[in-house]
Amino acid sequence: MTFEYEESYVPVTPLPHHIQINVTGLGWQLLRKSLGLNLVPLAIPLESPGEVKKIVGASLPAIFSPQLEGFQINFILSDTLHIHLDKKSTKEVHLKIDSIERYLKNEYVLASNIGIQPEVVILEGPQCLLNTLPDTLSLLLSSNSIDKSYNDEVEVELESEMISRNPPVVSVDFSVDKSRVITDTVFLQVINLPKEFKPVVRAREIIFTYRLPESQVNSISGPSVTAELDLNGFERGRYKLVPTITGLPAFSKVIKIDTIDINF
């Protein structure tokens, strides 16, 4: 059984493929049909595919009779056929990888930007399904405990088989390196001080711990690393704030830092 409809529509759910029909005919013809010999699928034309949601079994004899020469349809055994077609549409989505750390071996960190080629894929399918998808999709890597440079093809996975992807796979590459954990002390800089208040800061230095690739340890420049406390928008009161560390090498990550008590 097939459905005939405009190419601008696509199925949202799998279309039904089989129905049961009680027919009368010559024995040889019945045998050939029951064995599936030279069996041509019966077609159901849909004049308004976006509006039709179900086809009642009682309406099918009039559609099938011209297609079943030599047979008389007695009745349709199958009940109502449920279908759901929607307009075909396309959508561009960007790709990313969430939480790259979960794919890396212990004590290894990312040491380069993540390259995804292409960064954008074209999805095609039912409009109602495309509208539920975000503008950015997350890729899932099949590898775990990565401890060396990665360069592989990754599938763009979707839950619905009704949506096609162009391309279905993309190339992903990045570098990793062993990590080094460093604890350091830096002077605290308070910026955007309120004009009407003079805040009391109970610390001038802070201790923080960070992780970075071993290959970048020698790129650290002491004077370039600072801790900033931005008071823009704060009103009178007492706060416990976390400073922002700036000047660290690329791909560094602060894993522990002192908090600062401040009063206005």
Q: Which domains does the chain possess?
A: 2-83 (no CATH), 88-174 (2.170.120.40), 179-263 (2.170.120.30)
Length of the chain: 264
Does the structure show a pLDDT above 70 at 142?
yes
Tens digit of each residue's pLDDT (9 = 90 or more) over 245-254: 988 888 999 9
Helix, strand, coil percentages for the chain (3-state, nearest 5): 15, 45, 40
> What does the angle CA 247 – CA 249 – CA 252 come to, to the nearest 5 degrees?
105
Tens digit of each residue's pLDDT (9 = 90 or more) over 67-114: 888 888 899 988 899 999 999 999 999 999 999 999 999 999 999 999
Closest CA to 23 of 79, 78, 68: 68
Mean of the per-residue pLDDT values for the chain?
A: 89
The whole-model pTM stands at: 0.75
Report the pLDDT value the prediction gives residue 50, as an integer from 0 to 100. 87
Closest CA to 20 of 48, 37, 1, 3: 1
Report the pLDDT value the prediction gives residue 35, as an integer from 0 to 100. 55
* Distances, alpha carbon 89 to alpha carbons 8, 84, 96, 122, in Å: 8, 15, 23, 10
Please tell me the distance from the alpha carbon of residue 219 to that of residue 225, in angstroms, as a whole number: 11
- pLDDT band for position 27 (50/70/90)? confident
Tens digit of each residue's pLDDT (9 = 90 or more) over 43-61: 999 988 989 999 998 899 9
Tens digit of each residue's pLDDT (9 = 90 or more) over 170-225: 999 999 999 999 999 998 888 888 777 676 776 788 999 999 999 888 876 656 88
Report the pLDDT value the prediction gives residue 71, as an integer from 0 to 100. 85
Buried b (16+ CB within 10 A) or exposed e, 27-55: eeeeeebeeeeeeeeeebebeebeebeeb
Report the pLDDT value the prediction gives residue 157, as an integer from 0 to 100. 95
- pLDDT band for position 238 (50/70/90)? confident
Secondary element (H or E) of residue 222: none
Report the pLDDT value the prediction gives residue 34, as an integer from 0 to 100. 66
